[in-house]
Structure 1
Amino acid sequence: MNEKVKGRIYDIQGYSVHDGPGIRTTVFLKGCPLTCLWCHSPESQRNDFELAWFAVRCVGLEKCGLCLKACPQGALSQASPEKSVLDHSLLTKISIDRSKCDNCLTCASACPSKALTSSGYDTTVEEVYRRVAKDRHYYGEDGGITISGGEPMAQFTFTYELAKRCKQDKLSVCLDTTGYAPGENYDRVLPYIDLFLFDLKHMDTKKSRKFVGAGNDLILANAKRIAENGGKLQIRIPVIPKLNASNENLIRTAQFCQELGQAVTLVQLLPYHAMGISKYVRIGRNYKLVNITPPSDEEMQKYLELIQSFGLPAQIH
């Protein structure tokens, strides 16, 4: 076991109740081979560090201005003054020219209020383990750690060693995965994973390629591989109107889940939401699904009943 193996993460979230059974601590790794149009964590997609701008934290150029002096590329400039949310006085913040910014993060190092910051940081297996172990008295019988992303299998060595380290101390481990990784890596990590939170985004491989950036052949093969090798699967289906929210796609998904047999412990329907749009603004990217509306409660109930009609345990998440 190599506890000094380094990985790149962007967050560790305690008291998480949506990433597996019980109360969990979720470790979010950077980097993902897919580019889902609806991704609500765009900061997770690239493995590289990216400059994030939290405008609400900025104290204004009147009091600071260190970032302007620090930027070696001239990517920062003075924006128009705006009213402060605290006392309605005028506050001058910055504007970022992303075409000039090379994500060197020099400005983030200079920013005392962390209005400019990095979207990730490097750490070791042991450092992460010590952090999640602090929460173990909250876990009870069902909780534990969830390794998520991005796609955690894109940093396989780190994910593998972290799972081993947690199981060594008898912590429950969930792996939140897209399924898009080499099959042999799932074989290797399987003994240390209590439950795979496994995404099934689209059953049509051409549409999968269009909507998430890759076909689904490898994904479906890995779901079968995990099931055949004794792994447990919690299937997660994002429900995106106009993209995959159709009876045809959900019927095919349910039939596939039936084929996986007793390995499937639960099918979760995840209704689309647009709460991640502010994150795109934060890192200077455009959100592509601006015209998509979340499905109604009535629609979600119909989809739930459809999945349940195949004899599958299912819920709306």
Structure 2
Amino acid sequence: METKALTGKFYDIQGFSVHDGPGIRLTLFMKGCPLRCPWCHSPESQAFPTELNWMEIKCVGIEKCGNCLKVCPHGAISPGGKKKSLTGDDEITLVTVDRSKCDNCGKCAEACTSKALYMCGTDYTLDEIMERVRRDVPFFKKSGGGVTVSGGECLWQPEFLLEILKKCKEEGIHTAVDTTGYAKWEVIEPLLPYTDLFLLDIKGIDPELHKRVVGVPNELILENARKIAKAGGKFQIRIPTIPMYNDSVKAFDDMGKFIVELGDAVEVVQLLPYHNLGTVKWERLQRSAPILEATPPSDELMQARKKQLEDLGLNVIIH
């Protein structure tokens, strides 16, 4: 009996990345995340299955196309609102997707002439991923870069993640795991010999606030950070700086003290100012989930929080 090859599900692969670890990197974005951050700039990463996205700006209207209406086997797509055409001379009729009827079969995406409807989430074998990785090896060698496996939350596809890391290390490629840290220690521990750097998000220390806003408690995240440090792992700590959530002096004081506790394991702390560029992606998914829309933190505030952490002896950069 033929054994099915192990696959991993990815929603994006980005070459020439310079913010996901040292040097020039290839970042592999795995699909699926148990957290529900309302400021998430990649909401298409949250659901684990491959899912339908709709990009309004690409839709040419049912007057010129309308193929999706004809091929949907569940009647999930119907005429929707109207908008001006690109020329502005006339109106076109858009479509709307009834998510309660849609099973993400992808037939509408195949029929969509303008690719306004498209599927997010592609399965790859290890050989396919490594074929893509090897194309960037010259950049890795010249810049001291490598491969970063991100998400979503890559720890929730642990078997495939481990195989990527093992294969990269076999071929002398620097590895980084970009993670929320929200997974069982039994998942993380086998990764340690094959992970050169953990890019770990710290979103806050207050456990009740973390659970209420992010959707999961943070005790497991913080404990995993301590265990990784104790085991000799290295960190780039990332703090998404979110208005009305963790941008206060007290919040940074709490986070800073925890990071100091991790000792020499922390190579750098990276502050990531909130931005609202991801809100359009929520529209593509047509979800009713709560979305944070706020004014990004000022340069003055970011510099103040940077200094606050530097005063604790930490190496801090703002992305």
CA shift at 1:64, angstroms? 2.3
CA shift at 1:189, angstroms? 0.5
CA shift at 1:87, angstroms? 6.9
Q: Is the 8 A contact 2:33 2:156 kept in 1?
A: yes
**Long gaps (5+) in structure 1:** none
**In 2, distance between residues paired with 1:291 and 1:236?**
21
Q: Secondary structure at the match of 2:193?
A: helix
CA shift at 1:126, angstroms? 1.4
Q: Is the 8 A contact 1:4 1:126 kept in 2?
A: no
**In 2, distance between residues paired with 1:82 and 1:219?**
45
Whether 1:243 aligns to 2:242 is no
Whether 1:204 aligns to 2:206 is yes
Q: Secondary structure at the match of 1:179?
A: coil
CA shift at 1:208, angstroms? 0.9
Pick from 163, 166, 179 the counterpart of residue 164 of structure 1. 166
Pick from 255, 263, 266 the counterpart of residue 265 of structure 2. 263
Q: Taking structure 1 as reference, are residues 224 and 129 closer, same or farther at Cα in structure 2, changes over 3 Å only?
A: same
**In 2, distance between residues paired with 1:177 and 1:228?**
18
The count of corresponding residues between Structure 1 and Structure 2 is 316
Q: Is the 8 A contact 2:24 2:143 kept in 1?
A: no
Q: Is the 8 A contact 1:26 1:146 kept in 2?
A: yes
Whether 1:308 aligns to 2:304 is no
Q: Secondary structure at the match of 1:92?
A: strand
Deviations 1:231-253 (A, max 9, x none): 10000011111111111121111
**In 2, distance between residues paired with 1:281 and 1:217?**
32
CA shift at 1:88, angstroms? 4.1
Map 1:1-317 onto structure 2 (within 5 A).
4-86=5-87, 88-139=89-140, 140-286=142-288, 288-317=290-319
Q: Is the 8 A contact 2:10 2:31 kept in 1?
A: yes
Q: Is the 8 A contact 1:235 1:268 kept in 2?
A: yes
Q: Taking structure 1 as reference, are residues 254 and 88 closer, same or farther at Cα in structure 2, changes over 3 Å only?
A: same
**In 1, distance between residues paired with 2:33 and 2:98?**
26
CA shift at 1:79, angstroms? 3.3
Deviations 1:270-309 (A, max 9, x none): 1111111010000111363444221111000000000000
**In 2, distance between residues paired with 1:287 and 1:213?**
12
One-letter code aligned to 1:265: E
CA shift at 1:201, angstroms? 0.7
Deviations 1:54-95 (A, max 9, x none): 223333323322111001221212235433225745433322
Q: Is the 8 A contact 1:5 1:161 kept in 2?
A: no
One-letter code aligned to 2:193: P
Deviations 1:6-44 (A, max 9, x none): 011101011111111111111000111111121111111
CA shift at 1:180, angstroms? 0.6
What TM-score does the superposition give when structure 2 sets the normalisation length? Answer: 0.94
One-letter code aligned to 2:285: I
